């Protein structure tokens, strides 16, 4: 699967989670967020170790990243999970930095 499909899948799962009425299981709501953090960290480490311009990271547009990450931040904020917010922020920052370094 290409990174665009993966990001679209995360976006869909996170949006579904954000529409829960609060009566759901908090750990279930956090699952797609933790998975997204892991994915971003994994992509960042792969792209930093393979400095080629053809890796999957370059196929993720900034628009798609924003459409995926903003709902994730909202869900983490709704859950009052500051540690998860910070992990999302750091993973996103590292992912963007490694993507930018590749394109330069």
pLDDT over 70, % of the chain? 80
Alpha-carbon dihedral 85, 90, 92, 94, rounded to 10 degrees: -170
- Judge if pTM exceeds 0.75: yes
Position 20 scores a pLDDT of: 63
| pLDDT tens per residue, range 5-55 | 999 999 999 888 777 655 567 888 899 999 999 999 998 888 766 654 444
Q: Which residue has the higher pLDDT, 19 or 85?
A: 85
What is the predicted pLDDT for the residue at 51? 55
Q: Where are the domains of the chain?
A: 63-90
Q: What pLDDT sits at residue 22?
A: 58
């Amino acid at each position: 699967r290409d990174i665009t499909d993966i990001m679209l899948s995360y976006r869909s799962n996170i949006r579904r989670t954000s529409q829960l009425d609060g009566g759901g299981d908090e750990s279930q709501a956090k699952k797609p967020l933790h998975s997204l953090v892991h994915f971003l960290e994994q992509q960042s480490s792969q792209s930093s170790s393979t400095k080629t311009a053809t890796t999957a990271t370059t196929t993720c547009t900034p628009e798609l990243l924003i459409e995926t990450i903003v709902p994730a931040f909202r869900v983490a904020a709704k859950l009052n999970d500051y540690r998860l917010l910070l992990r999302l922020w750091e993973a996103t920052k590292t992912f963007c930095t490694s993507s930018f370094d590749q394109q330069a």
